[in-house]
Amino acid sequence: MIKNVIFDLDGTLLDTREGIIESVRYTAQTLGYDELSYEKLLTFVGPPIQNSFITHYGCDVDTAQKAADIFRDYYKNKALFLAVPYDGIYELCENLQSCGIKMSVATYKREDYALTLLRHFYFDKYCTSMHGADNRNHLKKEDIIRICMSEMNATNEDCVLVGDTDNDAMGANNANTPFIAVTYGFGFKSKGDVEKYPYIGIACTPQEVFKIISGRS
């Protein structure tokens, strides 16, 4: 029985692509890097920003951290609120709350930025716990999931993570937490994208997330 739901943020609760892509472009320009295609820029949404710069620009760890600092400064001051809640996401939260299901957020976005964004869009009124990454990404996704689970008094049997990317699926698996994949975000686009990971459901919309959870609650 599902009593606790942990949401990812980017690509699950909020469409944050505009602010993140603008910030990546600014960072690349500042460091003298060529601009990437839009499709590659989209892959920066979700994973640790350092990892994405290493993957796409081949920079070393120190340069990747410099890029992360530039990115975060711009994102915080210029682009943080360039985000849109997904259609039906508030209805999903209301329905879960009315069923007595506790909610929290576990994101790779730096925690102070995540909290500001979640409060700005009023997700804090639904969530028992909200946690994100530290500045140098020492915390892994599974660590953040476990922190939320502890604060919710959740167990692996009564909890589920809802997310849109490989990182979410791997984090849930490493935390021994059931996983619901959403395909309306930035990562997974089809059932085939999800099938290499353990999952209990695939949702194309927030409404389908509720159907999966209510069917197991």
CATH number reported for the structural domain that contains residue 29 in this entry: 1.10.150.240
Cα gap 34→45, rounded to integer Å: 18
Asked if residue 94 and residue 195 are part of one domain, the reply reads yes
Asked if residue 119 and residue 36 are part of one domain, the reply reads no
Question: Which one from 8, 158, 164, 168 is the annotated catalytic residue?
Answer: 8
Task: Kindly report the number of other CB atoms within 10 A of residue 85's CB atom.
Answer: 15
Cα gap 194→196, rounded to integer Å: 6
Place of tokens 């009315």: 98
pLDDT digits (tens, 9 = 90+) for 26-53: 999 999 999 999 999 999 987 889 999 9
Answer yes or no: is pLDDT of 217 > 70.
no
Cα gap 187→75, rounded to integer Å: 21
Cα gap 7→66, rounded to integer Å: 29
Range of the domain at 138: 4-15+84-216
Asked if residue 109 and residue 63 are part of one domain, the reply reads no
Asked if residue 66 and residue 126 are part of one domain, the reply reads no
Asked if residue 71 and residue 174 are part of one domain, the reply reads no
pLDDT band for position 103 (cuts 50, 70, 90): very high
Decide which of 27, 60, 79 is a domain's last residue.
Answer: 79
How much is the pLDDT for 216? Answer: 74
Asked if residue 93 and residue 126 are part of one domain, the reply reads yes
CATH number reported for the structural domain that contains residue 131 in this entry: 3.40.50.1000
| Number of domains observed in the structure of the chain | 2
- State the DSSP code for 33: P
How much is the pLDDT for 47? Answer: 81
How much is the pLDDT for 138? Answer: 83
The continuous run of DSSP H or E covering 194 comes out as helix 191-194
Decide which of 25, 48, 79 is a domain's last residue.
Answer: 79
Would you call 134 a catalytic residue per the annotation? no
Place of tokens 């942990």: 6
Amino acid at 209: V
How much is the pLDDT for 7? Answer: 98
The closest alpha carbon to 169, from 147, 138, 201, belongs to 201
Q: How far is CA 183 from the centre of its chain?
A: 13
Asked if residue 109 and residue 51 are part of one domain, the reply reads no
Asked if residue 94 and residue 119 are part of one domain, the reply reads yes
Using DSSP's 3-state secondary structure scheme, residue 144 falls into: helix
Task: Kindly report the number of other CB atoms within 10 A of residue 37's CB atom.
Answer: 7
Decide which of 63, 79, 95 is a domain's last residue.
Answer: 79
Q: What is the mean pLDDT of the chain?
A: 95
Asked if residue 111 and residue 45 are part of one domain, the reply reads no
Answer yes or no: is pLDDT of 24 > 80.
yes
Q: Classify residue 38 by burial, with Cβ atoms within 10 Å: 0-12, 13-18, 19+.
A: exposed
Following CA atoms 204, 206, 212, 214 in sequence, which dihedral angle do they give, to the nearest 10 degrees? -160
Asked if residue 206 and residue 130 are part of one domain, the reply reads yes
pLDDT digits (tens, 9 = 90+) for 123-155: 999 999 999 988 777 899 999 999 999 999 999
Asked if residue 188 and residue 88 are part of one domain, the reply reads yes
Asked if residue 160 and residue 56 are part of one domain, the reply reads no
